Amino acid sequence: MEIIIKPNAAEAQQEVARILRRQIQRQPDSVLGLATGSTPIPVYAALVKMHQQGELDFSRVITFNLDEYVGLAADHPCSYRGFMQQHLFGKVNLTPKNIHFPDGLAKDVPAHCAEYEAAIGGAGGIDLQLLGIGRDGHIGFNEPSSSLASRTRIKTLTPQTVKDNAKCFGSPDQVPRHVITMGVGTIMDSRHCLLLATGEAKADVIARMAEGAITADVPASALQMHPSCTVVVDEAAAAKLKRHEYYRWVYENKPPWQRV
Ligand code: F6R
Protein backbone atom coordinates (compact mmCIF):
# COMPACT_ATOMS: atom_id res chain seq x y z
CA MET A 1 0.00 0.00 0.00
CA GLU A 2 1.42 3.36 -1.01
CA ILE A 3 0.44 6.20 1.33
CA ILE A 4 0.81 9.73 -0.02
CA ILE A 5 0.47 12.50 2.56
CA LYS A 6 -0.31 15.96 1.20
CA PRO A 7 -0.18 19.15 3.30
CA ASN A 8 -3.87 19.95 2.85
CA ALA A 9 -7.10 18.65 1.36
CA ALA A 10 -6.79 20.69 -1.86
CA GLU A 11 -3.40 19.17 -2.67
CA ALA A 12 -4.62 15.66 -1.86
CA GLN A 13 -7.61 16.16 -4.20
CA GLN A 14 -5.32 17.49 -6.96
CA GLU A 15 -3.02 14.49 -6.61
CA VAL A 16 -5.95 12.11 -7.04
CA ALA A 17 -7.21 14.07 -10.05
CA ARG A 18 -3.70 13.87 -11.58
CA ILE A 19 -3.58 10.10 -11.08
CA LEU A 20 -6.96 9.75 -12.79
CA ARG A 21 -5.84 12.04 -15.63
CA ARG A 22 -2.75 9.95 -16.19
CA GLN A 23 -4.84 6.77 -16.23
CA ILE A 24 -7.25 8.16 -18.85
CA GLN A 25 -4.50 9.71 -20.97
CA ARG A 26 -2.48 6.48 -20.99
CA GLN A 27 -5.52 4.29 -21.62
CA PRO A 28 -8.40 6.24 -23.21
CA ASP A 29 -10.75 3.25 -22.90
CA SER A 30 -10.07 2.83 -19.18
CA VAL A 31 -12.69 1.15 -17.01
CA LEU A 32 -13.07 3.35 -13.94
CA GLY A 33 -14.79 2.46 -10.70
CA LEU A 34 -16.25 5.61 -9.16
CA ALA A 35 -17.31 6.68 -5.68
CA THR A 36 -19.77 9.26 -4.40
CA GLY A 37 -19.77 11.09 -1.05
CA SER A 38 -18.38 14.49 -0.16
CA THR A 39 -14.69 13.52 -0.44
CA PRO A 40 -14.42 13.13 -4.25
CA ILE A 41 -16.49 16.21 -5.19
CA PRO A 42 -13.40 18.44 -5.70
CA VAL A 43 -11.71 15.62 -7.64
CA TYR A 44 -14.63 15.51 -10.06
CA ALA A 45 -14.52 19.30 -10.33
CA ALA A 46 -10.81 19.07 -11.24
CA LEU A 47 -11.53 16.39 -13.88
CA VAL A 48 -14.28 18.56 -15.38
CA LYS A 49 -11.82 21.45 -15.59
CA MET A 50 -9.20 19.23 -17.26
CA HIS A 51 -11.86 18.16 -19.75
CA GLN A 52 -12.87 21.77 -20.45
CA GLN A 53 -9.21 22.66 -21.00
CA GLY A 54 -8.97 19.91 -23.61
CA GLU A 55 -6.70 17.65 -21.53
CA LEU A 56 -9.18 14.83 -21.00
CA ASP A 57 -11.41 12.95 -23.39
CA PHE A 58 -13.96 10.68 -21.70
CA SER A 59 -15.60 9.43 -24.90
CA ARG A 60 -14.15 5.92 -24.59
CA VAL A 61 -14.02 5.72 -20.78
CA ILE A 62 -16.30 3.15 -19.16
CA THR A 63 -17.57 3.72 -15.60
CA PHE A 64 -19.04 1.56 -12.86
CA ASN A 65 -20.19 3.22 -9.66
CA LEU A 66 -19.76 1.51 -6.35
CA ASP A 67 -23.22 1.84 -4.92
CA GLU A 68 -26.80 3.09 -4.99
CA TYR A 69 -29.62 3.40 -2.45
CA VAL A 70 -32.30 0.75 -2.68
CA GLY A 71 -35.67 2.33 -3.43
CA LEU A 72 -34.40 5.52 -5.07
CA ALA A 73 -34.93 6.13 -8.78
CA ALA A 74 -31.95 7.39 -10.81
CA ASP A 75 -33.58 10.84 -11.02
CA HIS A 76 -34.21 11.16 -7.26
CA PRO A 77 -32.29 14.25 -6.07
CA CYS A 78 -30.44 12.21 -3.42
CA SER A 79 -29.65 9.17 -5.57
CA TYR A 80 -26.00 8.49 -6.21
CA ARG A 81 -26.77 8.40 -9.93
CA GLY A 82 -28.08 11.97 -9.60
CA PHE A 83 -24.96 12.94 -7.64
CA MET A 84 -22.71 11.66 -10.44
CA GLN A 85 -24.82 13.43 -13.06
CA GLN A 86 -24.42 16.69 -11.16
CA HIS A 87 -20.69 16.44 -10.45
CA LEU A 88 -19.26 14.58 -13.44
CA PHE A 89 -21.48 12.81 -15.95
CA GLY A 90 -23.40 15.92 -16.98
CA LYS A 91 -20.20 17.91 -17.49
CA VAL A 92 -17.89 15.65 -19.51
CA ASN A 93 -18.22 13.73 -22.77
CA LEU A 94 -18.86 10.26 -21.37
CA THR A 95 -20.85 8.07 -23.75
CA PRO A 96 -24.16 7.25 -21.95
CA LYS A 97 -23.98 3.54 -22.74
CA ASN A 98 -20.58 3.40 -21.01
CA ILE A 99 -22.02 4.53 -17.67
CA HIS A 100 -23.01 1.72 -15.30
CA PHE A 101 -24.84 2.01 -12.00
CA PRO A 102 -26.55 -0.37 -9.62
CA ASP A 103 -30.31 0.04 -10.12
CA GLY A 104 -31.95 1.11 -6.85
CA LEU A 105 -35.34 0.04 -8.23
CA ALA A 106 -34.29 -3.43 -9.39
CA LYS A 107 -37.18 -5.87 -8.87
CA ASP A 108 -34.92 -8.87 -8.36
CA VAL A 109 -31.97 -7.50 -6.40
CA PRO A 110 -29.79 -10.66 -6.30
CA ALA A 111 -30.25 -11.16 -10.08
CA HIS A 112 -29.44 -7.51 -10.72
CA CYS A 113 -26.30 -7.75 -8.55
CA ALA A 114 -25.14 -10.81 -10.50
CA GLU A 115 -25.74 -8.88 -13.76
CA TYR A 116 -23.70 -5.96 -12.42
CA GLU A 117 -20.79 -8.27 -11.62
CA ALA A 118 -21.10 -9.84 -15.08
CA ALA A 119 -21.08 -6.38 -16.71
CA ILE A 120 -17.86 -5.48 -14.88
CA GLY A 121 -16.32 -8.74 -16.07
CA GLY A 122 -17.65 -8.16 -19.59
CA ALA A 123 -15.93 -4.78 -19.72
CA GLY A 124 -12.65 -6.48 -18.89
CA GLY A 125 -12.59 -5.62 -15.18
CA ILE A 126 -11.97 -2.30 -13.46
CA ASP A 127 -8.63 -0.65 -14.24
CA LEU A 128 -8.76 1.95 -11.52
CA GLN A 129 -11.21 2.06 -8.61
CA LEU A 130 -11.64 5.39 -6.83
CA LEU A 131 -12.64 5.00 -3.18
CA GLY A 132 -13.58 7.06 -0.16
CA ILE A 133 -13.76 5.58 3.32
CA GLY A 134 -16.44 5.73 5.99
CA ARG A 135 -15.52 6.53 9.58
CA ASP A 136 -16.40 2.95 10.48
CA GLY A 137 -14.01 1.56 7.86
CA HIS A 138 -16.46 0.90 5.05
CA ILE A 139 -15.46 1.04 1.39
CA GLY A 140 -18.34 1.08 -1.03
CA PHE A 141 -21.03 0.37 1.56
CA ASN A 142 -19.35 -2.70 2.93
CA GLU A 143 -20.06 -1.96 6.54
CA PRO A 144 -18.13 -3.64 9.41
CA SER A 145 -18.65 -7.42 9.45
CA SER A 146 -18.90 -7.52 5.62
CA SER A 147 -17.15 -10.53 4.17
CA LEU A 148 -13.79 -9.54 2.76
CA ALA A 149 -14.62 -11.81 -0.20
CA SER A 150 -18.08 -10.31 -0.79
CA ARG A 151 -19.48 -9.49 -4.23
CA THR A 152 -22.11 -6.94 -5.31
CA ARG A 153 -25.17 -7.36 -3.08
CA ILE A 154 -27.64 -5.58 -0.81
CA LYS A 155 -26.28 -4.20 2.48
CA THR A 156 -27.92 -2.52 5.48
CA LEU A 157 -26.30 0.78 6.45
CA THR A 158 -25.18 1.27 10.05
CA PRO A 159 -27.03 3.96 12.07
CA GLN A 160 -23.78 6.00 11.97
CA THR A 161 -23.61 5.90 8.15
CA VAL A 162 -27.32 6.79 7.96
CA LYS A 163 -26.55 9.85 10.11
CA ASP A 164 -23.42 10.72 8.08
CA ASN A 165 -25.42 10.56 4.84
CA ALA A 166 -28.47 12.51 6.06
CA LYS A 167 -27.46 15.91 4.62
CA CYS A 168 -29.21 15.54 1.26
CA PHE A 169 -32.30 13.95 2.82
CA GLY A 170 -32.91 16.57 5.50
CA SER A 171 -33.07 14.06 8.36
CA PRO A 172 -31.71 10.55 9.11
CA ASP A 173 -35.30 9.19 9.10
CA GLN A 174 -35.49 9.84 5.36
CA VAL A 175 -32.25 8.00 4.48
CA PRO A 176 -32.88 4.58 2.92
CA ARG A 177 -31.60 1.78 5.15
CA HIS A 178 -30.38 -0.37 2.27
CA VAL A 179 -27.94 0.00 -0.58
CA ILE A 180 -26.67 -2.12 -3.41
CA THR A 181 -22.88 -2.07 -3.23
CA MET A 182 -19.96 -3.70 -4.95
CA GLY A 183 -18.45 -6.17 -2.49
CA VAL A 184 -15.00 -6.02 -0.94
CA GLY A 185 -14.02 -8.87 -3.25
CA THR A 186 -15.33 -6.92 -6.26
CA ILE A 187 -13.23 -3.90 -5.25
CA MET A 188 -10.18 -6.10 -4.61
CA ASP A 189 -10.42 -7.41 -8.19
CA SER A 190 -9.72 -3.91 -9.57
CA ARG A 191 -6.26 -3.58 -11.08
CA HIS A 192 -5.53 -0.48 -9.04
CA CYS A 193 -7.31 1.04 -6.03
CA LEU A 194 -7.05 4.74 -5.24
CA LEU A 195 -8.45 5.83 -1.88
CA LEU A 196 -8.80 9.48 -0.91
CA ALA A 197 -9.47 10.62 2.67
CA THR A 198 -9.34 14.16 4.01
CA GLY A 199 -10.04 15.79 7.36
CA GLU A 200 -9.48 14.87 10.99
CA ALA A 201 -12.70 12.85 11.20
CA LYS A 202 -10.95 10.20 9.07
CA ALA A 203 -7.67 10.07 11.07
CA ASP A 204 -8.65 7.12 13.30
CA VAL A 205 -10.00 4.99 10.49
CA ILE A 206 -7.04 5.67 8.20
CA ALA A 207 -4.65 4.43 10.90
CA ARG A 208 -6.80 1.33 11.52
CA MET A 209 -7.14 0.63 7.80
CA ALA A 210 -3.45 0.99 6.92
CA GLU A 211 -1.65 -0.10 10.08
CA GLY A 212 -4.14 -2.21 12.02
CA ALA A 213 -5.13 -5.84 11.61
CA ILE A 214 -6.81 -7.05 8.44
CA THR A 215 -10.30 -7.65 9.70
CA ALA A 216 -13.93 -7.55 8.61
CA ASP A 217 -14.35 -5.09 11.48
CA VAL A 218 -12.59 -2.56 9.21
CA PRO A 219 -13.48 -3.72 5.68
CA ALA A 220 -11.05 -1.21 4.11
CA SER A 221 -8.19 -3.04 5.84
CA ALA A 222 -8.55 -5.69 3.10
CA LEU A 223 -6.75 -3.16 0.88
CA GLN A 224 -3.53 -4.10 2.68
CA MET A 225 -3.72 -7.28 0.59
CA HIS A 226 -4.22 -5.42 -2.69
CA PRO A 227 -1.17 -5.59 -4.96
CA SER A 228 -1.58 -2.02 -6.21
CA CYS A 229 -3.31 0.37 -3.83
CA THR A 230 -2.60 4.08 -3.41
CA VAL A 231 -3.99 6.00 -0.43
CA VAL A 232 -3.90 9.79 -0.67
CA VAL A 233 -4.52 11.70 2.56
CA ASP A 234 -4.09 15.21 3.87
CA GLU A 235 -2.16 15.93 7.09
CA ALA A 236 -5.37 15.90 9.13
CA ALA A 237 -6.39 12.42 7.98
CA ALA A 238 -2.78 11.20 8.35
CA ALA A 239 -2.44 12.48 11.92
CA LYS A 240 -2.75 9.08 13.61
CA LEU A 241 -0.48 7.08 11.28
CA LYS A 242 2.48 5.57 13.17
CA ARG A 243 4.73 5.49 10.13
CA HIS A 244 3.84 8.97 8.97
CA GLU A 245 7.50 10.00 8.52
CA TYR A 246 8.39 6.88 6.58
CA TYR A 247 5.51 7.35 4.11
CA ARG A 248 6.67 10.89 3.51
CA TRP A 249 10.25 9.66 3.03
CA VAL A 250 9.12 7.03 0.52
CA TYR A 251 7.22 9.65 -1.48
CA GLU A 252 10.13 12.12 -1.47
CA ASN A 253 12.50 9.41 -2.67
CA LYS A 254 10.23 7.97 -5.34
CA PRO A 255 12.13 7.17 -8.53
CA PRO A 256 11.17 9.67 -11.26
CA TRP A 257 9.61 6.92 -13.39
CA GLN A 258 7.13 6.17 -10.59
CA ARG A 259 5.92 9.74 -10.24
CA VAL A 260 2.61 10.98 -11.65
C1 F6R B 1 -19.79 6.23 -1.76
C2 F6R B 1 -19.04 5.25 -1.00
C3 F6R B 1 -18.69 5.44 0.44
C4 F6R B 1 -18.06 6.80 0.74
C5 F6R B 1 -17.83 6.95 2.24
C6 F6R B 1 -17.19 8.27 2.59
O7 F6R B 1 -19.96 5.81 -3.09
O8 F6R B 1 -18.71 4.26 -1.55
O9 F6R B 1 -17.82 4.43 0.84
O10 F6R B 1 -16.86 6.90 0.04
O11 F6R B 1 -19.04 6.82 2.91
O12 F6R B 1 -18.10 9.30 2.35
P13 F6R B 1 -17.65 10.82 2.47
O14 F6R B 1 -16.72 11.07 1.34
O15 F6R B 1 -18.93 11.57 2.32
O16 F6R B 1 -17.01 10.97 3.80
Could you state, in chain order, the average pLDDT of each consecutive group of 10 residues for the chain (260 residues)? 97 98 97 97 98 98 98 95 98 98 97 98 98 97 98 97 93 96 98 98 98 98 98 98 96 86
Distance between CA atoms of residues 9 and 13, nearest Å: 6
- Relative to the CA of 201, which ligand 1 atom is closest? 16
∠ CA 208-210-212, rounded to 5°: 45
**Cross-strand bridge partners of residue 153:** 181
Q: Would residue 69 count as lying in a domain?
A: yes
**Cα 114 to averaged position of ligand 1 atoms, centre (Å):** 23
**The CATH number of the domain where 91 resides is what?**
3.40.50.1360
Beta-carbon count within 10 A of 53 CB: 8
Task: Decide if 259 is inside a domain.
Answer: no
pLDDT, position 178: 98
Q: Which atom of ligand 1 is nearest to the CA of 138?
A: 9
Ligand 1, residue 131: give the atom nearest the CA.
10
Q: Does 66 fall in a domain?
A: yes
Q: Which domain holds residue 72?
A: 2-253
43 Cα: distance to centroid of ligand 1 (angstroms) = 13
Pocket of ligand 1 (CB under 6 A): 35-39, 66-67, 132-134, 138-141
Count Cα atoms within 13 angstroms, Cβ side, for 133.
32
Give all strands of the β-sheet with 178-181 in edge-to-edge order: 67-69, 178-181, 153-156
Any catalytic annotation for residue 189? no
Q: Which atom of ligand 1 is nearest to the CA of 161?
A: 11
Q: What are phi and psi of 96, to 5 degrees?
A: -50, -40
Assess if residue 209 is contained within a domain: yes
Active site residue 136: yes
Q: Is residue 260 part of a domain?
A: no
148: in domain: yes
Q: Is residue 22 part of a domain?
A: yes
The one catalytic residue in 143, 164, 189, 234 is 143
What count of other Cβ atoms lies within 10 Å of the Cβ of residue 219?
Answer: 29
Q: What is the pTM assigned to this prediction?
A: 0.97
**CA 131 to ligand 1 centroid distance, Å:** 7
Q: Is the dihedral of CA 157, 160, 165, 166 positive or negative?
A: positive
Ligand 1 site-directed mutation target among 13, 32, 34, 36, most atoms within 8 Å of CB: 36
**Is 57 one of the catalytic residues?**
no
- CA separation for the pair 109, 250 (Å, rounded): 44
List 136, 164, 189, 234, catalytic entry: 136
- Structurally, the chain folds into a number of domains equal to 1
Report d(CA 13, CA 90) in Å as an integer.
Answer: 20
143 is catalytic: yes
Instruction: For residue 258, tell me if it sits in a domain.
Output: no
Angle (nearest 5°) at CA 186 between 230 and 148: 85
**Annotated catalytic residue within 138, 164, 226, 234:** 138
Neighbours of 93 (CB within 10 A): 11
